[in-house]
């Protein structure tokens, strides 16, 4: 699945309406063959598509947010934005001291400068990633300091509109699996109750949803969000 790449390949645009259509189409296909997806859609409804702009700013924001509260991360991002640090070329030229003064830790300063340099050199241009399969793109992203598996997967899902990504390290996503009664042996069922689901188990469970695992991930986040808001607490029947 591919969308629009600009002529200079430095930016990437995913159309929300197009992703919404693919999301509904993928879940519709899965619902005809998977009772858990079918029951979850009936109970909680279709999730909304999520789209982020692919490029340096999105990845830098992800690095800034690591191990910080939402408020702290937003404050730092505001200072970086005012300084023009979300432009890769400008960030690459900024001194370590200036980035540190804006609130980044010493380690994150190193991550930010390294990532900015990669974009300036064209190593992470949208066209480069778009020419790769999912696993190859994830491997490339994770080769840069500060980008872990979860960050790479989320970036490809929302920034590049990849349809078969499953960020199993996400606690909310695994919480959604538990709410649906999946885990342990992975059978789910009427009387299963909530089950413990670790990352390895989550990846194994999700194999049944290829090639639309991103669609199910969005559905699981919706289920988990409803649980947290005190809605839809009854088990699937």
Q: Kindly report the pTM of this predicted structure.
A: 0.82
Q: Where are the domains of the chain?
A: 4-49+165-228, 56-159
Q: Which residue do the tokens 């980008």 mark? A: 147
pLDDT digits (tens, 9 = 90+) for 97-147: 999 999 999 999 999 999 999 999 999 988 899 899 999 999 999 999 999
- The pLDDT assigned to 196 comes to 84
Kindly provide the b/e burial profile for residues 2-18, where b requires at least 16 CB atoms within 10 angstroms of the residue's own CB. ebebeeeebbbebeeee
Query: Residue 178: phi, psi to the nearest 5?
Result: -65, -45
CATH code of the region 56-159: 1.10.340.30
Joined together, the tokens standing for residue 142 give: 């994770």
- The pLDDT assigned to 5 comes to 40
- Per CATH, is 4-49+165-228 categorized as 1.10.1670? yes
Mean pLDDT of 51-71: 91
- The pLDDT assigned to 226 comes to 92
Residue 131: count of CB within 10 angstroms of its CB: 13
Cα separation, 54 vs 20, whole angstroms: 17
Q: How far is C-alpha 186 from the chain's CA centre? A: 23
Better-predicted residue by pLDDT, 188 or 137:
137
């Amino acid at each position: 699945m591919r969308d629009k790449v600009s002529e200079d390949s430095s930016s990437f645009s995913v159309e929300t309406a197009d992703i919404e259509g693919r999301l509904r189409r993928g879940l519709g296909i899965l619902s005809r063959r998977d009772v858990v997806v079918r029951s979850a859609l009936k109970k909680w409804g279709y999730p909304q598509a999520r789209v982020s702009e692919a490029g340096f700013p999105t990845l830098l924001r992800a690095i800034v947010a690591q191990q910080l509260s939402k408020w702290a991360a937003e404050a730092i991002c505001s200072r970086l934005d005012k300084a023009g640090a979300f432009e890769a070329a400008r960030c690459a030229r900024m001194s370590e001291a200036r980035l540190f003064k804006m609130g980044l830790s010493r380690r994150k300063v190193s991550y930010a400068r390294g990532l900015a340099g990669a974009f300036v050199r064209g190593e992470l241009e949208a066209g480069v990633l778009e020419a790769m399969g999912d696993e190859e793109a994830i491997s490339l992203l994770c080769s840069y300091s500060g980008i872990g598996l979860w960050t790479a997967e989320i970036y490809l899902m929302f920034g590049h509109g990849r349809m078969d990504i499953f960020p199993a390290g996400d606690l909310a996503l695994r919480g959604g699996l538990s709410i649906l009664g999946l885990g342990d042996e992975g059978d789910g069922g009427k009387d299963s109750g909530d089950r413990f689901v670790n990352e390895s188990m989550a990846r194994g469970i999700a194999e049944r949803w290829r090639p639309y695992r991103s669609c199910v991930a969005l559905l699981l986040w919706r289920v988990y969000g409803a649980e947290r808001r005190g809605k839809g607490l009854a088990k699937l029947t």
